[in-house]
């Protein structure tokens, strides 16, 4: 599922905005900025859970918090098309590469969170 990434899509504009995240809440955009600045895994989780909810094919009437044990397919209604679109979005946003074999091994929200955390580059503080 490797997709080409465009640095212009994930680069922060002067306002701190990321084009891919424009339709997400300010909290999600702030969490992404925090992730870029600090490498905070909790910030990555906030962004990732919002991505899962955004790509969920059958949105619940009342959005309950996503739980680690929830299965992407059985519990959240994902199908292969929705998973593919979500993976492309994750690859573009986080500038990571995800193979078909890797994504096929992920069954739950918790497995996806752990997987994305492993894919993110180790944070390096800015050079002073």
Go through 83-116 and write b for each residue having 16 or more CB atoms within 10 A of its CB, e for each that does not: bbebbbbbbbbbebebeeeebeebebbeebbebb
pTM to 2 decimal places: 0.81
pLDDT tens digits along 37-86:
999 999 999 999 999 999 999 888 887 899 999 999 999 999 999 999 99
Cβ pair 29, 47 in contact under 8 A: no
Q: What is the CATH number of domain 7-119?
A: 1.10.1200.10
């Amino acid at each position: 599922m490797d997709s080409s990434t465009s640095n212009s899509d994930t680069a922060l504009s002067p306002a701190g905005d990321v084009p891919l995240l424009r339709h997400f809440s300010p909290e999600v955009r702030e969490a992404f900025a925090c992730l870029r600045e600090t490498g905070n895994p909790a910030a990555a989780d906030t962004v990732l859970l919002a991505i899962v909810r955004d790509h969920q094919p059958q949105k619940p009437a009342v959005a309950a918090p996503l739980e680690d044990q929830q299965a992407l397919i059985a519990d959240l209604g994902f199908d292969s098309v929705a998973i593919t679109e979500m993976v492309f979005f994750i690859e573009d946003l986080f500038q990571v590469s995800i193979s078909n074999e890797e994504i096929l091994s992920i069954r739950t929200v918790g497995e996806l969170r752990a997987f994305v955390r492993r894919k993110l580059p180790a944070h390096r503080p800015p050079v002073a």
